[in-house]
Amino acid sequence: MPGASSDSGGGALVPISPESQGALVYPLRHGLKSPISRLSISWSRGNSLRVSVFAAPYSGSSVEDDAGGKVVEVKLGGGDGEISDAHWRRIAYGSVSPFALLQSRKNAVSSLSKMSMNSSPYNADWWDYIMEYSRDINALLGSQRSASVPVIDDPKSIIMKGEEPTSLKAAWELLEMFYAESASHSWLPECLVDWLADYDSLFSGTHPTVHSKLVDFQKELVNMQVVEDNPKYWEVMSSALAVGWLDIVVKMLRLHGSYQLDQLSNRETENGLVEAVAVLISKMPRMRLDQEAGKLGECFNARPDFVKAWEKWRGQINKLDSSAFWFQCAHQQTREGLRSMLQIMLGNANCLCSATCHWIELYISHLLYIRPFIVGLENMYSLAQKSIQLKPMASAHRLMGLIIGILGENTEVVLAECLKGFGPWMVAHAMELLTAGSDNAEMLLHEERQNLGGISIEELHRLVYAQVLSSHPLTWQIAPIYLISCMKHGMVLLQILLSQQPVQDNQLLLKSIEICRLYELHSVTSNIMKIAGVHHWKHGRKGSGVFWLQQARDEYRLNRIAQQLFDTVGKTISDDSFKQWEGLIQLLGSDSKTAGGLEFLHKYRHFKKSLQHVCDGKTTDAARQAVESLITLMKNPSTPQRFYLPLLHDSLKLLNWKDRPLLNVSQTNLLLTKLQDLSMARLRPDFIESELPPQAVNAVRLALATNLGRAILEE
Amino acid sequence: MAQNPSLVHRIPQSKYIDAIRWLSPVSALDRFAAVAYYDTDTNSPSIEIICVDPNPEGSSPTLTPQSSWTPPSRISSLKTAHSTHQPLLAAATFSGSIHILASDLINGGTMESEATVSELGFHSGPVSAVDLREGGTECVSVGEDGRVNLVSFVGDSSKLSYRRIFDANGLVGYTAVKWASPSEFATGGYGFGLQWWDQRKPGGPVSQFKGNWCQGKTSGIVHSIDIHPSRKHTCLAGGSSGTVFAWDLRAQQQPIVLSGAGTDEAPISLLSESEVWEVQYDRYTRSSNTSNISSTRILPIMICSEDGILAVIEQGEEPLELLAEPCAINSFDIDQQNPSDVICSLEWESIAILTRS
């Protein structure tokens, strides 16, 4: 995955290898028929490019079928060959909860240790938390291998085919072994033996391995009649023994022809030797905590016991090696094969070197048979260096670099190898293990660095991972979890991320708003709402636009769009289409604060309704109510001037009420003043004339004057 | 987490799930569901019929795709009709079209498009919700453009005829719709507003439920509506801020708030503060039969929310949380035949199948 590139300048943490893998060709499927005149290339989401293809200006006769251009997206890079994009996303989703849980525990622990001042944050609970985190992540990367045991045990199936292992899981287990399992340091060598047993097949792609030898032999085994005559049988067994796969070796030994009933009598000595070696192999003392069921070897978890048992076992092998029975063994291949296996168990360096394929296998064989009592990473590291010298390789697998980094206790190398080999996800999550127990690593990774813009290496890698997440439309929602754990730049980047989300779709918009709510980013919320409101408004969805602007309490924009709305209101609201407006007016509610200038619509509707009642029933009470709402409308400063005349014209009936004048003197005066204001406003150039007949003003003026006269008389 | 023993299986998919529905089973053994997927890697939407094998050995159920159909754009709403001889699907898209699909579950779950409305002017912009009438001859579609369309199909014609029931010209936007009876349906929209429509009385909604009942404190959008066939006077709605409320048409303007924001006086246990994406009446009753519940009481309902809650709410009781996921539950469906089974679509590209016991 790209995106992890840092500046090529002085502050580069990870050197970008200049070796190019040759040019890659991405075909463009633009489907344009006419020749292309121009190309424009820009970054799109994630690691895809947006290419705009412009056709040459058209000179032909018909224009019907061809577009003038097309925009296509080109996805760069295949990513990790081992893990598909969808699988990466699944890992990303799954690691959110363990990461978040660990962060909150960290915070709790650090606040606790601040309170008590002296206690170390690394107590027993702490290691449990780290281990739980590591196990949760490990479980995400694939199920445990060698879980399935076949119901019918096929004697000729020597190697079990489980789920295909991934390098990612192998790498995580390495980190877990060295950094999370603090208590397991004395049985690290045995952990490595198990690790190689699980993951040796990963190296098969680039190097010959013991695993691939076994797989090849398995294929031939089906057609083999007398296995012990085949030199490959002995070679493969020696190799498997060298890397400590005892159960496979013993199972293979039992395939030896001397076990067959018809041959047992005349090959008695030979069979005795084979069985003796098999028993010795299955009694090999091992320094480990527990043994899985079905695995061979005798376990010791205390060093003195182990040393004692080891010496005894070695003695037994030596005794067998120098026994006289070998001269009685007639079968040459068996004799030589078994003795070379004894040499391996006796730690003959040359035998080990020829039995193993690559340096990790050689390293494991040295740990098993030459230096079983090795202690300390320093010694393990120098042994690894020696193994590499004995078995140099042209190209190193990404796991090999990681092992060297870990054994060399070089945190920076480990980080760089993680990033190079496994991408930003690995670095961001492995960081927790690296800093778990080592104060040195913690200081190194948490130190604020000038060349990184004042942030720590830990924060840098979290930000990088968050950027990778942000660039995908499905994973951007989990980026905030990582961003908020970044003290310096996290919050700002989170605000930018949220502000960049598309607002067209309500569901997505609401998901963004939900994240804002969680992190109390109220200003971002209201910004997003404003953008959404204007977007909807521009696309003719006036109701949606008004809603979002109201939610954002954006009076300024509400007032602006109110002016536009009134243009349409003036034309349509008077008639049947009032039903359309009904919903919008309801949405506005009676709360004038959130409605802005649109509050007018609410009062207008009220007035219209009461006027309707007057026309239907003609009761004086209804008419009085209508007058009340007319007066409130005219008094209200938010009533646009252009509505004065239509309002008064609509109320002619009220002004000329037959029974008695409905408006008193002051009310009539108010209306007259407003009419006066209107004639003044008319002189201004920006005045919008209502669509009423020209005599309307006169009719209203006359009615008002009459009413005034009647009102004076009445008073 | 979950307060009662129920079996949950989460099955990761490699595509985003826009909508998910059970299909009524044709035999006792096979269970089918319709899923609207969106593949972000290829930018391609699809509707797939999947066979759900519950896997009696106790391990995770398997989903086997049976057939697939490619819509012109992403699916915004997916509904099924149960009382037809073969399951019918109504799918609405973001590009403003509606597709009626029929699936033949007996012969390998093939699916074909029966009919399509996609002409210009049907909806401008996305169709936000669609509902199929039981019996499956008509569906109603609504959009934020304010259009309410009635699509009727007789069967063999591939072009559907549609009738515009109302056009609010964008002044009002609708986000949810549900049939109540052969002639009536309810819609929901912004500001927690609900509208009741009757085809026999054209020209606009028959009745409107004022949206601003929460006094401007928090307003929101209705995302989903359900109406129980035996309680047609009550319209159940779920929306923003964890709000679930019922509108009893007989008590016009007073909402019955079941969860979330609402009136100050009644302390309602707050289940969720985020969007309630879907509400459905929960036909799975634990003890008492529904006919005993008085007609003023709201029947048990199930909701799913943005903060990952799947819960059953009963009026006046503590809500029962069935799932609490770390990601959003975007939609769910209760199996009509086996109401103990619920299928959910999760934000993190996975499907959850829940079996209550």
Q: What was the pLDDT predicted at A315?
A: 93
Angle between helices A411-437 and A85-116 (to 10 degrees): 50
The token duo for A52 is 């705009």
How confident is the model over A173-206, as pLDDT tens digits? Answer: 999 988 887 655 778 888 899 899 889 888 888 8
Q: Is B288 on the interface with A (CB under 8 A)?
A: no
Mutate to test the interface with B, among A514, A520, A575 (most CBs of B within 10 A): A514
Q: Tell me the average pLDDT across A505-530.
A: 92
Q: Which residue of B has its CA nearest to A514?
A: B274
Q: What was the pLDDT predicted at A591?
A: 58
Q: Tell me the average pLDDT across A151-171.
A: 72
* Dihedral sign (CA A105, A106, A112, A118): positive
b/e burial code for range A548-569 (CB count within 10 A of at least 16 → b)? bbbbbebbebbebbbeebbeeb
Q: Which residues of A touch B164 (CB under 8 A)?
A: none
Q: Tell me the average pLDDT across A128-152.
A: 74
Contact call for A505 and B94, based on CB within 8 A: yes
Q: What was the pLDDT predicted at A147?
A: 40
Q: What was the pLDDT predicted at B212?
A: 59
Between A553 and A578, residue with greater pLDDT: A553
Host H or E run for residue B209: strand B207-209
What's the distance, CA A243 to chain centroid?
37
Q: What was the pLDDT predicted at A579?
A: 66
pLDDT over threshold 70, residue A91: yes
Q: What was the pLDDT predicted at A152?
A: 47
Q: Which residues of B touch A547 (CB under 8 A)?
A: 173, 190-191, 219, 221
Contact call for B146 and A590, based on CB within 8 A: no
Q: Which residue of A has its CA nearest to B39?
A: A86
**Measuring CA to CA, which residue among A250, A81, A79 is closest to residue A164?**
A81
Q: What was the pLDDT predicted at A116?
A: 61
Contact call for B40 and A474, based on CB within 8 A: yes
DSSP for residue A534: H
Contact call for B41 and A86, based on CB within 8 A: yes
Q: What was the pLDDT predicted at A95?
A: 94
Q: What was the pLDDT predicted at B350?
A: 94
Residues in chain A, overall count:
715
Q: What was the pLDDT predicted at A65?
A: 53
pLDDT, block means (10 residues), chain B with 357 residues: 68 93 80 92 90 74 88 93 79 92 78 79 90 85 92 68 86 92 91 89 83 63 92 90 88 78 53 89 69 73 93 85 93 90 94 89
The token duo for B310 is 């799947």
Q: Which residues of A touch B330 (CB under 8 A)?
A: 507
pLDDT over threshold 70, residue A1: no
Q: Which residue of A has its CA nearest to B223?
A: A507
CA atoms within 13 A on the CB side of A62: 4
Q: What was the pLDDT predicted at A2?
A: 40
Average pLDDT along chain B: 84
Contact call for B274 and A539, based on CB within 8 A: no
| Cα dihedral value A694, A696, A697, A700, nearest 10 | 170
ipTM value: 0.91
Contact call for B326 and A97, based on CB within 8 A: yes
pLDDT over threshold 70, residue A482: yes
Mutate to test the interface with B, among A84, A93, A503 (most CBs of B within 10 A): A93
Q: Is B56 on the interface with A (CB under 8 A)?
A: no
Mutate to test the interface with A, among B1, B124, B187, B190 (most CBs of A within 10 A): B190
Q: Is B212 on the interface with A (CB under 8 A)?
A: yes
CA atoms within 13 A on the CB side of B219: 26
Contact call for A514 and B193, based on CB within 8 A: no
How far is A2 from chain B, CA to nearest CA, in Å? Answer: 17
A536 strand-pairing partners: none
How confident is the model over B217-231, as pLDDT tens digits? Answer: 567 899 999 999 888
Contact call for B190 and A540, based on CB within 8 A: no
Q: What band does A453 get if pLDDT is binned at 50, 70 and 90?
A: confident
Q: What was the pLDDT predicted at A93?
A: 95
Q: Which residues of A touch B144 (CB under 8 A)?
A: 506, 536, 541, 543-544
Strand B98-104 vs strand B329-334: parallel, antiparallel, or unpaired?
unpaired
Contact call for A584 and B210, based on CB within 8 A: no
Contact between A581 and A605 under an 8 Å Cβ cutoff? The reply is yes
Q: Which residues of B touch A507 (CB under 8 A)?
A: 277, 330
Contact call for B212 and A591, based on CB within 8 A: yes
Contact between A169 and A141 under an 8 Å Cβ cutoff? The reply is yes
Q: Rounded CA gap, B260 and B247, in Å?
A: 15
Helix, strand, coil shares of chain B as percentages rounded to 5? 0, 50, 45
Residue A23 amino acid letter? A
Q: What was the pLDDT predicted at A94?
A: 93
**Measuring CA to CA, which residue among A457, A452, A476, A458 is closest to residue A466?**
A476
Contact between A426 and A168 under an 8 Å Cβ cutoff? The reply is yes
* Dihedral sign (CA A291, A296, A300, A303): negative
* Residue numbers of B between 68 and 87 with CB closer than 8 Å to A: none
Residues in chain B, overall count:
357
Shortest CB distance from B203 goes to which of A87, A579, A587? A579
pLDDT over threshold 80, residue A693: no
Shortest CB distance from B172 goes to which of A505, A550, A583? A583
Contact call for A550 and B41, based on CB within 8 A: no
pLDDT over threshold 90, residue A301: no
Contact call for A586 and B221, based on CB within 8 A: no
Contact between B310 and B344 under an 8 Å Cβ cutoff? The reply is yes
Q: Tell me the average pLDDT across A568-584.
A: 62
Q: What band does A637 get if pLDDT is binned at 50, 70 and 90?
A: confident
Q: What is the pTM of this model?
A: 0.84
Contact between B193 and B176 under an 8 Å Cβ cutoff? The reply is no
Q: Is B206 on the interface with A (CB under 8 A)?
A: no
The token duo for A256 is 């030896």
Q: Which residue of A has its CA nearest to B14?
A: A86
Contact between A372 and A310 under an 8 Å Cβ cutoff? The reply is yes
Interacting residues of B117 by C-beta distance below 8 A, sequence separation 6+: B97, B98, B151, B159, B160, B162
Mutate to test the interface with A, among B147, B167, B171 (most CBs of A within 10 A): B171
DSSP character string of A277-335:
HHHHHHT-EEE-S---TT--SEEE-SHHHHHHHHHHHHHHHHHHHT-THHHH---HHHH
- What SS3 string covers A103-151? HHHHHHHHHHHHHHCCCCCCCHHHHHHHHHHHHHHHHHCCCCCCCCCCC
Q: Is B44 on the interface with A (CB under 8 A)?
A: no
Q: Is B101 on the interface with A (CB under 8 A)?
A: no
Contact call for B328 and A511, based on CB within 8 A: yes
* Residue numbers of B between 11 and 40 with CB closer than 8 Å to A: 12, 14-16, 40
Q: Which residues of A touch B208 (CB under 8 A)?
A: 582-583, 586
Contact call for A86 and B349, based on CB within 8 A: yes
The token duo for B137 is 């001859």
Between A370 and A711, residue with greater pLDDT: A370
Contact call for B212 and A84, based on CB within 8 A: no
Contact call for B219 and A543, based on CB within 8 A: no
Interacting residues of A700 by C-beta distance below 8 A, sequence separation 6+: A645, A648, A649, A652, A655, A675
Contact call for A506 and B175, based on CB within 8 A: yes
How far is A566 from chain B, CA to nearest CA, in Å? Answer: 13
User: A345-349, A567-571, B81-85 — which is least confidently predicted?
Assistant: A567-571
Between A574 and B312, residue with greater pLDDT: B312
The token duo for A535 is 């977007």
Mutate to test the interface with A, among B172, B272, B329, B331 (most CBs of A within 10 A): B172
Interacting residues of A229 by C-beta distance below 8 A, sequence separation 6+: A333
Contact between A435 and A458 under an 8 Å Cβ cutoff? The reply is yes
Between A227 and A460, residue with greater pLDDT: A460
**Measuring CA to CA, which residue among B128, B108, B139, B116 is closest to residue B26?**
B108
Contact between A145 and A162 under an 8 Å Cβ cutoff? The reply is yes
Strand A298-300 vs strand A285-287: parallel, antiparallel, or unpaired?
parallel
Average pLDDT along chain A: 81
Contact call for A96 and B14, based on CB within 8 A: no
**How far is the CA of A280 from the CAs of A296, A373, B154, in angstroms?**
10, 19, 82
Q: Which residue of A has its CA nearest to B213?
A: A589
Contact call for A541 and B16, based on CB within 8 A: no
Contact between A435 and A444 under an 8 Å Cβ cutoff? The reply is no
Q: Rounded CA gap, B318 and B32, in Å?
A: 33
Q: Tell me the average pLDDT across A66-88.
A: 75
Give the count of Cβ contacts less than 8 A between chain A and B: 129
**How far is the CA of A245 from the CAs of A187, A210, A588, in angstroms?**
17, 10, 76
Contact between B196 and B235 under an 8 Å Cβ cutoff? The reply is yes
Contact call for A511 and B125, based on CB within 8 A: no
Angle between helices A599-617 and A620-635 (to 10 degrees): 160
Host H or E run for residue A703: helix A696-714
Q: Which residues of B touch A96 (CB under 8 A)?
A: 326
Shortest CB distance from B145 goes to which of A73, A511, A540? A540
Q: Which residues of A touch B15 (CB under 8 A)?
A: 86
Contact between A80 and A92 under an 8 Å Cβ cutoff? The reply is no
Provide the percentage of residues in chain A whose pLDDT is more than 90: 27
Between B29 and A712, residue with greater pLDDT: A712
* Dihedral sign (CA A37, A43, A45, A48): positive
Q: Is B327 on the interface with A (CB under 8 A)?
A: yes
pLDDT over threshold 60, residue A311: yes
Q: Which residue of B has its CA nearest to A583?
A: B172
Contact between B39 and B17 under an 8 Å Cβ cutoff? The reply is no
